Amino acid sequence: MALSLREYRARIRSVESTKKITRAMELIAASRIKKAQLRAQSAAPYARELTRAVSAVATYSNVDHPLTTEPEESNRAAILVVTSDRGLAGAYSSGALKEAERLSEKLKGEGKEVDIYVSGRKGIAYFTFRRRDIVDSWAGHSDQPTYDVASEIGAALIAAFVAGSDAGERIEEGEDVPDVPAVDEVHVVYTRFRTMLVQEPCAVRLLPLEVIESEETPPPDQVLPLFEFEPSPEEVLDALLPKYVQSRVFFALLQAAASELAARQKAMKSATDNAEELIKKYTRIANQARQAGITQEISEIVGGVNALADANAASE
């Protein structure tokens, strides 16, 4: 019984150590989540105004650009999957991976080949373990993404989309285009931050750009805006569209970072609560074991005294 009591006490100490770790991780995530939310909110106005600029150029220039032109036949698609670099974030990475698998099956059902691009070590480990080919991957920035990383990812996706076309050379402006498979469309799978309790995986099509012209009729006292593009609409699109793609990738990374921290805080709080419950459970069982041991020892002493008294009475 004493050995069992020692085991329970050792388990209590082990759970208490785990509780300290999970509590510390919960506090760290809570301290970073506000900053991540502010970064995601701060990036929204830039992305919104850039979207307006791209929409204006695409709507009023009447220029056919590879990034805004729907292909006649789509045979190959690329999927960028945004996951985390570290674990202990609940179902954050698994949710994005499941959404990517659903999208992949949908595209394959349409007769398209799928190329995988991954951001985050969890996604890289997932596809590597299953021996799935990864065209390109990035890691080490999931909780604090930078625009440089988004630019690198956006450049790789654009290079794959315009591979083999003359527009690719104009966009890269003389840079070496990576030897990657040409794709007809690009999708991004990331986790969108709704609230501290709700983070939902979503898939959006990044390329070709879906520019929707406004159908609203202006008031009688107003006229439609007139745009002049310098030096030319083609060069304006070549400059704006890569920045637009990179800004959308950056916004997805910021949303994913905020979602990761929120999921980690929630997971660590749940783990801390479970540790407290385990400590209470083991403490109660240890007390019961201790009381049972004391009761048994008292019973043995009383039994020994009674046996000795009976033996003395019999000898007399």
Q: What is the pLDDT of residue 219?
A: 55
pLDDT digits (tens, 9 = 90+) for 171-199: 455 555 556 678 888 999 999 988 888 88
Q: What is the pLDDT of residue 214?
A: 46
pLDDT digits (tens, 9 = 90+) for 87-100: 888 889 999 999 99
* Domain presence at residue 44: no
In a 3-state reduction of DSSP, which class is residue 67? coil
* Domain presence at residue 256: yes
* Domain presence at residue 129: yes
Residue 176, domain extent: 63-212+224-264
* Domain presence at residue 110: yes
| Nearest in space to 209 (alpha carbons), one of 139, 161, 269, 277 | 161
Rounded to the nearest integer, the mean pLDDT of the chain is: 82
Beta strands in 95-163 (DSSP E): 113-119, 136-138
Average pLDDT (244-265) is 91
In this predicted structure, the answer to whether residue 82 has a pLDDT above a threshold of 90 is yes
* Domain presence at residue 9: no
Average pLDDT (72-77) is 83
* Domain presence at residue 37: no
* Domain presence at residue 98: yes
pLDDT digits (tens, 9 = 90+) for 128-175: 999 999 999 999 888 889 999 999 999 999 888 887 454 444 445 555
Name residue 205's amino acid.
R
Q: What is the pLDDT of residue 216?
A: 47
In this predicted structure, the answer to whether residue 2 has a pLDDT above a threshold of 50 is no
* Domain presence at residue 218: no
In this predicted structure, the answer to whether residue 310 has a pLDDT above a threshold of 80 is no
Number of domains in the chain: 1
5 pLDDT tier (thresholds 50, 70, 90): confident
Query: Which residues, at least 6 apart from 139, have a Cβ–Cβ distance to it below 8 Å?
Result: 85, 119, 120, 121, 124
Average pLDDT (261-275) is 91
- Record the pTM: 0.78
pLDDT digits (tens, 9 = 90+) for 280-292: 988 888 888 788 7
Q: Which residue has the higher pLDDT, 316 or 157?
A: 157
Q: What is the pLDDT of residue 131?
A: 92
Whole-angstrom distance, CA of residue 213 vs CA of residue 262 = 36
Look up the CATH number of the domain holding residue 200: 3.40.1380.10
- The number of helix segments (H) and strand segments (E) in the chain equals 6, 5
DSSP-derived pairing of the beta strands 136-138 and 113-119: parallel
In a 3-state reduction of DSSP, which class is residue 315? helix
Share of residues in the chain with pLDDT > 90 (%): 34
